[in-house]
Amino acid sequence: MSAALLELEKVDLARGGRLLCRELTLTVEAGECWGVLGPNGAGKSTLLQTMAGLEKPAGGLLRYRGRPLGQWKRRELARELGMLFQLDEGGFTTTLFETVLTGRHPHLGTFGWETAADLEIAWRAVCDLGLEALARRDPATLSGGERQRMEIAVLLAQQPRLALLDEPANHLDPGHQVAILELLRRRFSRPGHAQVMVLHDINLALASCHRLLLLRGDGHWRAGSVEEMGTPEQLSWLYGCPVRPCAELEDRCLSFL
């Protein structure tokens, strides 16, 4: 299998008549974790939607596993790509476990019945996120952090090759942030897998990602390794304000002045 999972070639992103990103060109290779950083409104969520084939780019081409994204059937693509959206408080009343089980839907057969293997995969995802005691709970009764962990469990139950994650650390306390980002890194750093995640926390991005995409929202972007892009100079360019290392903390810890 080619190392390239997702390729973007001169992709333009626009929203509300405004060009957010011009001629974005990058390759997400198997085993990589990409972090997407940028100010509010820079097009980070729009980028993930475009990568998932849910929005068309204003220009350019996207290929998944060497094939133009538009040539994939939706059900076929749903087995390959998993996406974590920002939390939506809507939805049907059910249990947490039944919600996680929906992650298996792209893999179900003609009659749509879950097998024992599907149930086992979903339960394993529940356990991986430490949600066993909440399995019978109505999701509407969960805290924001518990719901976020449930949504990540849905994605793990789906077992996609490529995970597209919009703020996976949102609503989580620091302990769960570190543990879940490490879990995602282990899952999607395996051969044939990768992840792209939008983050607002610079330090989490530096600690969790191999490569960074910086979106400024004015058409300009920069991409490269964490070592290249995670510097005070690059991040100051991105956010339009000074960013400096915290001398009293780890070397790879940055803060705003």
pTM for the structure as a whole: 0.91
Mean pLDDT to the nearest integer, 91-115: 86
Residue 252 has pLDDT above 70, yes or no: no
CB 64 within 8 A of CB 192: no
Q: How far is CA 52 from CA 94, 163, 168, 172, 174, in A?
A: 27, 9, 16, 25, 28
Residue of 134, 146, 140 lying closest to 171 (CA atoms): 146
For the segment 106-112, the average pLDDT, to the nearest whole number, is 79
pLDDT-based confidence at 89, cuts 50/70/90? Answer: low
Alpha-carbon distance values, 24 to 64, 171, 228, 250 (Å): 16, 30, 18, 32
Closest CA to 152 of 77, 213, 100, 90: 100
pLDDT grade for 248, boundaries at 50, 70 and 90: very low
Which amino acid is it at 252? R
pLDDT for residue 90 is more than 80? no
Average pLDDT across the chain, whole number: 92
Give the mean model confidence (pLDDT) for residues 90-106. Answer: 87
pLDDT at 110: 67
Burial class (CB in 10 A: 0-12, 13-18, 19+), 148: buried
User: How much of the chain, in percent, has pLDDT values that exceed 70?
Assistant: 91
DSSP 8-state symbol, 139? G
Residues carrying CATH 3.40.50.300, the chain: 4-80+161-256
Determine the pLDDT at residue 109. 73
Q: Tens digits of per-residue pLDDT, 229-239? A: 999 999 999 99
Sign of CA dihedral 108, 110, 116, 117: negative
In DSSP notation, 17-63 reads TEEEEEEEEEEEETT-EEEEE--TTSSHHHHHHHHTTSS--SEEEEE
Q: Which helix (H) or strand (E) holds 83?
A: strand 81-84
pLDDT one-digit tens code per residue, 198-231: 999 999 999 999 999 999 999 999 999 999 999 9
Summarize pLDDT for 137-196 with one digit per residue, the tens: 999 999 999 999 999 999 999 999 999 999 999 999 999 999 999 999 999 999 999 999
Cα 189-173-123 angle, rounded to 5 deg: 55
Dump the DSSP string for 151-202. Answer: HHHHHHHH--SEEEEESTTTT--HHHHHHHHHHHHHHHTSTT-EEEEE-S-H
Residue 249, pLDDT score: 47
Q: With bands split at pLDDT 50, 70 and 90, how would you rate the model's confidence at 113?
A: confident
Measure CA 40 to chain center.
17
Order of strands across the sheet with 221-225? 81-84, 162-166, 194-198, 33-37, 211-215, 221-225
> pLDDT band at residue 133, thresholds of 50, 70 and 90?
very high
pLDDT computed for residue 255 by the predictor: 58
Res 12: pLDDT: 98
- Interval 35-56 mean pLDDT: 96
> Is 4-80+161-256 in CATH node 3.40.50.300?
yes
Average pLDDT over residues 13-18: 93
pLDDT value of residue 245: 77
Region of 44 on the Ramachandran plot (φ > 0 left; ψ -120 to 50 alpha; else beta): alpha
Distance CA 110, CA 42 (A): 41
Q: Looking at residues 89-94, what average pLDDT do you find?
A: 64
pLDDT the model gives residue 92: 62
